[in-house]
Amino acid sequence: MRWLPFGICATALAVAGIVASPGCDPPASDAGPYAAIARVHRVHCGACHTRVEPGTRTRAQLQAALPHHHNRVHLTDAEWSEMLDYLAADTGSPSSDAAN
């Protein structure tokens, strides 16, 4: 059986907006503007290491620690920015730091 590369799967999930089955309802925290990227985070992040949970790091800490992930995960720049917004403790609203 051939496995698709992580980035292709992550992008497909984010774009398709696959909804979990009734037995696997997403947590309430996945509702709202980050629903698609939250699913990508929940499904893929942490497969190789301990997952960084939303709100546990500042955006600056994430940008310093995760640049190699940006190159590996094959998310668009917009999706990557959304992931940082979702994870960052100091993000007040979606894409509030997109200009940086």
Instruction: Encode pLDDT of 44-90 as tens digits.
Output: 888 888 889 999 999 999 999 888 888 788 889 999 999 999 999 98
Q: Which residues fall within 8 angstroms of residue 90, CB to CB, at 6 or more apart?
A: 58, 59
pLDDT of amino acid 81: 93
How many of the other CB atoms lie within 10 Å of CB of 54? Answer: 18
Beta bridge partners of 32: none
Q: Which of 21, 41, 44, 17 is nearest to 29 (CA)?
A: 41
Instruction: Please give the model's pTM, rounded to 2 decimal places.
Output: 0.59
Question: pLDDT at residue 25 above 60?
Answer: no
Confidence of residue 92 (pLDDT cuts 50, 70, 90): low
